[in-house]
Amino acid sequence: MFKEFKEFAMRGNVLDMAVGVIIGAAFGQIVNSFVQDVLMPPIGRLLGHVDFSNLFVNLTETHYPTIAAAKAAGAATLNYGLFLNTVINFLIVAFAVFLLVRQVNRLAPKPAPAAAPATRDCPYCLSAVPAKATKCSQCTSELRPA
């Protein structure tokens, strides 16, 4: 069983996938930091000093100044500011993946055009004859050149 697992784990595509997951997780953290620390503060300032990570709707009767205070009190909240940050994170990651796939597709070798068929069917007896043949070997009919 260990031998089978070792063979499975050492396949190229499994290792490639593992590297992709690790790099993707690191890239996700970079994008998350970019959105929370670089992108959203100026947008919040432009919109009247709004901290998007602290936008929420309190579903209880008591007022809480921050999400942290509401969570500490165990209050139910709709955290739409955090949701907006997550949506922006996703859009940035999706766009980056799109650009990466687009570049990989450009660099990938183009598939070779399909070769012309080596044979064709005789229109009289329907046997296969070479594509350049002018006479059928089965029924001896005259064939037009291909």
Domain extents in the chain: 2-107, 116-146
Question: Would you say the pTM of this structure is higher than 0.85?
Answer: no
Strands (DSSP E) contained in the chain are 57-58, 77-78, 119-121, 128-130
Quick: pLDDT tens for 14-50: 777 888 889 888 888 888 888 888 888 888 888 887 7
Quick: pLDDT tens for 110-124: 887 888 888 899 888
d(CA 131, CA 135): 11
**Which residues, in sequence order, are bridge partners of residue 57?**
78
Give the dihedral sign, CA 137/140/141/145.
positive
Q: What is the CATH number of domain 2-107?
A: 1.10.1200.120
**Banded pLDDT at 96 (limits 50, 70, 90):** confident
**Which residues, in sequence order, are bridge partners of residue 78?**
57
**Which residues, in sequence order, are bridge partners of residue 105?**
none
* pLDDT at res. 20: 83
